[in-house]
Amino acid sequence: MTTLQVELGARRYPIHIDRGLLDRPGLIAGCAPGRHVLIVTDANVAPLYLAKLEAALAGKLVRSVILPPGEQEKTLARFAELMDALATLGASRDATVVALGGGVIGDLAGFAAACWMRGVRLVQVPTTLLAMVDSSVGGKTAVDLPAGKNLVGAFHQPAAVIADTDTLRTLPERELRAGLAEVVKYGALGDADFFAWLEARGKDLLARDTDALAAAIERCCMHKAAIVARDETETGERALLNFGHTFGHAIEAEQGFGGLLHGEAVAAGMVLAARLSQALGLAAPTDTERLAALLQGLGLPVAVPAGLAPEALLARMRLDKKNRSGRLRLILWRGIGRAEIVEDVAEDAVLAVLAG
């Protein structure tokens, strides 16, 4: 088992990465020392892994909530449902909320843990590649509003992350590819050597090669753990982890959270950010071409979906949390591995890129 540590001053928590972790009841039970446990999962994941988790927590007062799958469920109404479930459970301040699933479940369960009695223990058990490499680590929790993605939330670090790579065997192909977008992001924003490794090993990742996936997950988690340790609440460099996300979130919101998956939208968003960087004279066209080629080779979109108006997407982007004083603040790059925060980006330049 590979165990990485997220260091936050005097606080720390482990990220466990290995095959078969859900078959280690002692590891799971040890992460939930209190009497009450709320497990949050969805209807796709529950038939596969919920029984293992419940068995590992035998002897505790456990309640499981099974939600419908999909980003459209990441709402204040579902958050309220989890609050009611914790109340029915009689959860005390030593309770644990366990998120079993992908990024949507992790965000919802994490926000519930952040708010119940002003914060209780959270354990992330990601079952998608995207959640393993990104959303389960770092403590960002949120729900969406019709106006935009992740507008209501809190920073609430997990007590542990348990990434059982065996769960990737049952991951639908589209979800695997979407997760690979977030893997590419880490190379694109700050690790040119990793980007080159992904260009060489992309076919192995698509084939679910165990060693390749484990290596990619570990590399991404190492990067994220280091950045979160330096900037827990995104006052500085942690914003770099949003490379492609401002464009991607706008696409998701404009499609009503029912079109592209999050990773697919991020893939298109990264190419848009690269094209904007190129248009602003920050980066060379060859870097944009390499990024687009890698993403396309992984079966991911690299452009705005048909039918979305550039002006509507720009209006969504104005609500992004990174903006300041009503001015666009975007994560752009100076080429592969060299992302940076760019202040006061001209809207006409953004519109031109959105229009293609």
List residues with catalytic annotation.
Answer: 118, 140, 182, 224, 234, 238, 242, 245, 249, 262
**With contact defined as beta carbons under 8 Å apart, do 150 and 320 qualify?**
no
Starting at the edge strand found earlier in the chain, the sheet holding 36-42 runs 2-8, 11-18, 160-164, 121-126, 96-101, 36-42, 61-67
Q: What distance in Å separates the CA atoms of residue 79 and residue 76, rounded to the nearest whole number?
A: 5
